[in-house]
């Protein structure tokens, strides 16, 4: 790797630190989660934030959007939300006498889909093309979405009435599933002080422009992955498929997502090469939500996170 590329990768680490510090002005004590959101941004992935109400899921998504230059839209998922409410419609313009396309809220750089599991399966499915191919098709017309493009979706796992669980195809399109968790006693006290006078989100400014982010994404693809590390990633994916507790293991899309995410994480850590530790760090948030456990595993209460950990432990770590 040339010295110029190493210098550019240092810019990625500096930009990531600046982004994490900016979002941390609003979100207290969740730096590791914010770093994972940055990983998703750097490899053009999407993020599912799943946690109980009131933790700060929507606040995190808004803080991420404000920290990035670009257009931000919010979609509030409800049972009566239609696919056309998301993708847009063709309408007849009486002045011109022609049909024109009116884009929906999905045509933005950062899209927050709040409580995604409250939307019906029909509406959820309209996001499949958007998230994977970064385009929408309305009345046989295909419209590309702006770049960079990131979907941040939230859902509450404890509210079952009036919700529609995301199907496997939808979950597989999220690069990461994250959880914030309850704050510590000191963090909760800091939250009260921080929000005492005003909402810090209102004064949050952009620290990373859209074109700058696109350049960072290109730089991350140049991070070197040694053959043994690449085989390590593939072996972990295959171990999830062969695990006795899984009905369905991780897909090839998952292996590609894990591979790209490790490149982004290495760049954020100021390295031009991927280490096995990068793979270990990302295995659970990238893979756990993609596994389908067997019925007996669910009855025993075995968590998919534990299955990923067991698959990880079953694969020898490559050494020099």
Structure tokens at 307: 């299955």
pLDDT of residue 161: 66
Q: What angle do CA 184, 264, 133 make, to 5 degrees?
A: 105
Structure tokens at 217: 């994404």
Residues of the chain with CATH 3.40.50.300: 3-222
Residue corresponding to tokens 């950062």: 110
Indicate left, alpha or beta for 222 from its phi (over 0: left) and psi (-120 to 50: alpha).
Answer: alpha
- For 269, phi and psi rounded to 5 degrees? -90, 10
Indicate left, alpha or beta for 307 from its phi (over 0: left) and psi (-120 to 50: alpha).
Answer: alpha
Q: What are the CA-CA distances from residue 297 to residues 6, 197, 245, 302, 306 (Å)?
A: 46, 49, 6, 5, 11
pLDDT of residue 126: 87
Residues of the chain with CATH 1.10.8.80: 223-320
pLDDT of residue 62: 86
Q: Please identify, in words, the CATH class of the domain defined by 223-320.
A: mainly alpha
Candidate CATH numbers 3.30.465.10, 3.40.50.300, 3.30.2270.10, 3.40.50.10310; the one for domain 3-222 = 3.40.50.300
- Per-residue pLDDT of the chain (320 residues), as tens digits, is 544 455 577 888 899 999 999 999 999 888 999 999 999 999 989 999 988 888 888 888 888 888 887 788 999 999 999 998 998 887 877 788 777 888 889 988 889 999 999 999 989 988 888 898 988 888 878 889 888 889 999 888 765 666 888 888 889 999 999 988 888 899 899 999 988 888 888 888 888 888 888 889 999 999 999 999 999 999 999 999 988 888 888 899 999 999 999 999 999 998 889 999 999 999 999 999 998 888 887 777 778 888 999 999 999 998 76
Alpha-carbon gap, residue 310 to 290, rounded angstroms? 15
Structure tokens at 126: 């309209």
pTM attached to this predicted model: 0.88
pLDDT of residue 110: 87
């Amino acid at each position: 790797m040339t010295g110029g590329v190493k210098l550019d990768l240092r810019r990625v680490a500096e930009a990531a630190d600046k982004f994490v510090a900016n979002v941390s002005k609003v979100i207290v004590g969740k730096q590791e989660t914010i770093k994972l959101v940055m990983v998703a941004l750097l490899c053009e992935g999407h993020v599912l934030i799943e946690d109980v109400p009131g933790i700060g899921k929507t606040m995190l998504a808004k803080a991420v959007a404000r920290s990035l230059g670009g257009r931000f839209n919010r979609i509030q998922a409800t049972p009566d939300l239609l696919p056309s409410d998301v993708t847009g419609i063709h309408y007849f313009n009486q002045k011109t006498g022609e049909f024109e396309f009116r884009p929906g809220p999905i045509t933005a750089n950062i899209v927050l889909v709040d409580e995604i599991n409250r939307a019906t399966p029909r509406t959820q499915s309209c996001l499949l093309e958007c998230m994977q191919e970064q385009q929408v098709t309305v009345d046989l017309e295909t419209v590309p979405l702006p770049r960079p493009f990131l979907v941040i979706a939230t859902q509450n796992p404890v509210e079952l009435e009036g919700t529609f669980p995301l199907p496997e195809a939808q979950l597989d399109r999220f690069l990461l599933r994250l959880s914030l968790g309850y704050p510590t006693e000191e963090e909760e006290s800091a939250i009260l002080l921080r929000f005492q006078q005003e909402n810090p989100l209102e004064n949050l400014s952009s620290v990373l422009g859209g074109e700058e982010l696109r350049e960072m994404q290109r730089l991350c693809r140049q991070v070197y992955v040694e053959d043994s590390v690449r085989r390590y990633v593939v072996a972990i994916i295959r171990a999830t498929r062969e695990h006795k507790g899984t009905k369905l293991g991780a897909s090839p899309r998952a292996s590609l997502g894990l591979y790209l995410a490790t490149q982004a994480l290495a760049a954020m850590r100021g390295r031009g090469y991927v280490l096995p530790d990068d793979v270990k760090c990302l295995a659970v948030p990238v893979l756990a939500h993609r596994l389908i456990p067997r019925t007996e595993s669910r009855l025993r209460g075995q968590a998919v996170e534990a299955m990923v950990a067991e698959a990880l432990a079953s694969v020898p770590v490559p050494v020099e």
